[in-house]
Amino acid sequence: MQRGLGTIVSVLFLMCVFGAQACEQCKSLGTTPAISLSLRDEYNNTAPKYKWYFDTETEFIKYNLNVNKAHQITEAERDTHGHVDEFNITERISYSVNKDITVGIAQGFRVLRMKEIEDEDHLGQHQHSDGPNDLDVSFQYRFMHQKQDGFPVDLSLFASFKAPSGVTHNHNPQGELFETEDQPGTGSWNETLGFSAAKRWGAWSATAAYGYTHKGEGSQRFKEGDINRFTMSGSRQMIGRDGGWKLFLSQGLQFFTENKSIDHGVKSPDHGGQFIYAAPAVIVQPIDRLLLSATAAVPLYQEENGFHQRDRFGIQLNIGVRF
pLDDT at 243: 63
Whether residue 13 has pLDDT greater than 90: no
pLDDT at 7: 46
pLDDT tier, 30 (very low <50, low <70, confident <90, very high otherwise):
very low
Whether residue 40 has pLDDT greater than 60: no
- Residue 297 contacts by C-beta under 8 Å, 6 or more apart in sequence? 28, 29, 61, 277, 278, 279, 311, 313, 314, 315, 316
Whether residue 26 has pLDDT greater than 90: no
How far is it, in rounded angstroms, from Cα 236 to Cα 202?
9
Return the higher-pLDDT residue of 284 and 19: 284
pLDDT at 2: 43
The DSSP string of 46-63 is SS----EEEEEEEEEEEE
pLDDT at 193: 96
How far is it, in rounded angstroms, from Cα 182 to Cα 82?
9
Q: What angle do CA 301, 27, 178 make, to 5 degrees?
A: 130
Percent of the chain with pLDDT over 70: 84
Q: Which of 249, 239, 248, 244 is nearest to 286 (CA)?
A: 244
**3-class state of residue 208 by DSSP:** strand
How far is it, in rounded angstroms, from Cα 185 to Cα 130?
10
Percent of the chain with pLDDT over 90: 76
CB 233 within 8 A of CB 240: no
Task: Give the number of C-alpha atoms closer than 13 A to the C-alpha of residue 77, restricted to the C-beta side.
Answer: 0
pLDDT at 269: 93
How far is it, in rounded angstroms, from Cα 80 to Cα 160?
29
Residue 315: in which H helix or E strand, if any? Answer: strand 311-322
Return the higher-pLDDT residue of 80 and 11: 80
Which of 22-31, 73-82, 250-259 is predicted least confidently? 22-31
Q: Which of 1, 323, 313, 25 is nearest to 179 (CA)?
A: 25
Would you give the DSSP letter of residue 236? E
How far is it, in rounded angstroms, from Cα 14 to Cα 172?
35
pLDDT at 16: 44
We report the CATH number of the domain holding residue 295 as 2.40.128.130
To the nearest whole number, what is the mean pLDDT of the chain?
85
pLDDT at 43: 35
For residue 20, the enclosing domain spans 2-322
H runs (alpha helix) in the chain: 2-17, 67-75
In the chain, the number of structural domains is 1
pLDDT in tens, 124-174: 999 999 999 999 999 999 999 999 888 999 999 999 999 999 999 999 999
Q: Which of 315, 261, 279, 251 is nearest to 24 (CA)?
A: 261
How far is it, in rounded angstroms, from Cα 73 to Cα 79?
7
Whether residue 204 has pLDDT greater than 50: yes
How far is it, in rounded angstroms, from Cα 185 to Cα 200?
38
pLDDT in tens, 45-59: 333 578 999 999 999
Separation of first and last alpha carbons in the chain: 20
pLDDT in tens, 84-125: 999 999 999 999 999 899 999 999 999 999 999 999 999 999
pLDDT tier, 245 (very low <50, low <70, confident <90, very high otherwise):
confident
The length of the chain, given as a count of residues: 323
